[in-house]
Amino acid sequence: MNASSLDRYQRAESLIHQLDPRIKILLSMLFILSNVLLPDGAAIGFFLSWMLILLINIISKLQLSFILKRSFIALPFTLAAITVIFTLPGETIAEWEIGSWVLTATDSGLLRFLSILVRSWLSVQVAILLTATTTFPDIAHSLRHLHFPKILISILSFMYRYLFVLSEEAQRLLKARAARAARIPKEKARSFLWQAKVAGNMVGQLFVRSLERSERVYSAMQARGFRGQFLTLSPHHLRNKDYLIGVIGFTLLMSIQFIQFNI
């Protein structure tokens, strides 16, 4: 496994790939906002939002399975919401007896749960679309145009640059541990204190290596004239096309809200 497989960017030539990242970020945020504002059980609204995602997916020439596969990342978190089925007041749809406990599933509880599920599933897909069609340096650069704090953007850019390097370093450490630990004496293998100590030493090792790397990086960058900020050779310009797509996207989102609440 190499670390570049961590990157979610999918190279392609499409309208969405060429769209100004500022517009993409703003539209993604608006989509998620619109999504969260849809009430429980807003079937039409959710369906239209999904259609919009599929449309963007097709325009951006990504494989449908690409997004679908990754869209389940938030699924484990739904455990946190599952209990709402049994606790929201409403009409009973099913009852189970577990020992002395009686679980009563209600219709409004189920509706709330499914709505939370769909909302997060749709929102995740938009976020995946954003990162699949925009390189991270572009995202970072357009965050600067959107007046995010410069220091935070610089840290993020450095972080992105060394993420893969240090992740590979961590993978090497893990591989080395797996190789060394083929035969741990039984009493040691069981003791998680010992295991934690080994892991702690690995983290410490990684810490020291990272610290030294950051010093080398700084010297090297200073030698090249770094003054604490990244410069870019490709200034982003908002073209008419970008404005047009921005307006179309906004209108579509508003129409989803309008249709949901008026039909």
Partner 1 sequence: MYLSPTPLHIPDGFLSILISILFWAISIIFVGLAICRSQKELEDRQIPLMGVMAAFIFAAQMINFPVAGGTSGHLLGGALAAITLGPWAGILVMTSVVALQGLLFQDGGLLVMGANIFNMGILTTLVGYSFYRIAIHQKKNIRLASAGIAAFLGVLAAALMTAIQLWLSGTSPAKIVFPAMLGIHSLIGIGEALITVATLGFIYKVRPTILSLQNIEEKAKKGWVIPGFTIAILVVLLSPLASTNPDGLEKVANELGFIELSQASIFEIFPDYILPIFGDGNFSNIFAGIIGLLLVGLFAYFIGKFINKRKTS
Looking at residues 107 to 136 of the shown chain, list those that interact with partner 1 (rule: CB under 8 A). 112, 116-124, 127-128, 131, 136
Stretch that binds partner 1, among 32-40, 58-66, 100-108, 236-244 (CB under 8 A): 32-40
Rounded Cα–Cα distance for residues 105 and 185 (Å): 50
Amino acid letter, residue 45:
G
Binding-site size for partner 1 (CB under 8 A) equals 97
Stretch that binds partner 1, among 52-60, 89-97, 196-204, 238-246 (CB under 8 A): 196-204
Q: Which is nearer to partner 1, 59 or 199 (CB)?
A: 199
Amino acid letter, residue 93:
I
CB of 246 to partner 1, least distance (A): 14
Q: Is the Cα dihedral 137, 139, 143, 146 positive or negative?
A: positive
Stretch that binds partner 1, among 15-23, 28-36, 52-60, 99-107 (CB under 8 A): 28-36
Burial class (CB in 10 A: 0-12, 13-18, 19+), 129: buried
Rounded Cα–Cα distance for residues 38 and 129 (Å): 21
Q: Which is nearer to partner 1, 12 or 239 (CB)?
A: 12
Structure tokens at 30: 């608006």
CB of 18 to partner 1, least distance (A): 20
- Which DSSP symbol is given to 39? P
Among 18, 63, 92, 214, binds partner 1 (CB under 8 A): 214
Q: Is 211 in the site for partner 1 (CB under 8 A)?
A: yes
Rounded Cα–Cα distance for residues 109 and 105 (Å): 7
